Amino acid sequence: MKTTLLAALATSAVIAAPAAADDTADIQTAIDGLYAVISGPVGEARDFDAMREMFMEGAAMGAVAAGPEGNGAGRVITLDDYIERSGPWLVENGFTERATRTEIDLWGEIAYARSAYEGVNGVTGEVFLIGVNYITLFKIDGDWKIASILWRTESEDWPVSAAFE
């Protein structure tokens, strides 16, 4: 009985592994698409319709910071709030955000990614922003959709490396 049970468990683990690998690749593609849609040179309009397609209805976005006296500060906004507030700035200033390291945790139809990033100035080409995006995704009707993103820029007390320890 034990041998049969162990053989069944070993077989199911082997069968499950390729599906998880495929999902991880699809999740990485979704994350890469997120970086690509907000990135571009000065004067280039972003494809916010494509961005809306990447997110599930009701998705949340937000920035978190140390706040006064280290008590924490942040704000959660909708995707449309982000587009309204940041869209003109992205076009006017140019901005590229690129991942420098991403780790994905997957459990069924839920995925969670820590993705370190650097933001590049569209005029000078200099990196001026470093931090970590925490991205939650849900698999809905076979597609990975972004449910939420919270991000924090690096500080002396919170280096990017600390997010991956």
pLDDT in tens, 67-109: 888 788 999 999 999 999 999 999 999 999 999 999 999 999 9
Average pLDDT, the chain: 88
Per-residue burial over 48-86, b = 16 or more CB atoms within 10 Å of its CB, e = otherwise: beebeebbbeebbbbbbbeeeeeeeeeeeeebeebbeeb
- 137 DSSP β-pair partners: 111, 146
**pLDDT score of 16:** 32
Q: Is the pLDDT of residue 7 over 80?
A: no
Check whether 55 has a pLDDT greater than 60.
yes
Q: In CATH, what number is assigned to the domain containing residue 144?
A: 3.10.450.50
How many domains does one find in the chain? 1
Q: How does residue 9 score in pLDDT terms, banded at 50, 70 and 90?
A: very low
Amino acid 70: pLDDT = 76
57: pLDDT strictly greater than 70: yes
Q: For residue range 108-141, what is the model confidence (pLDDT) as tens digits?
A: 999 999 999 999 999 999 999 999 999 999 999 9
Cα Rg of the chain, angstroms: 19
Residue 48: both structure tokens together: 């916010």
Phi then psi for 124, rounded to 5 degrees? Answer: -90, -20
Predicted pLDDT at 10 = 39
Look at residue 68 in the predicted model and tell me its pLDDT: 82
Q: What is the pLDDT of residue 11?
A: 38
Task: Determine the structural domain holding residue 115 and report its residue range.
Answer: 2-164
CA distance 22 to 82: 30
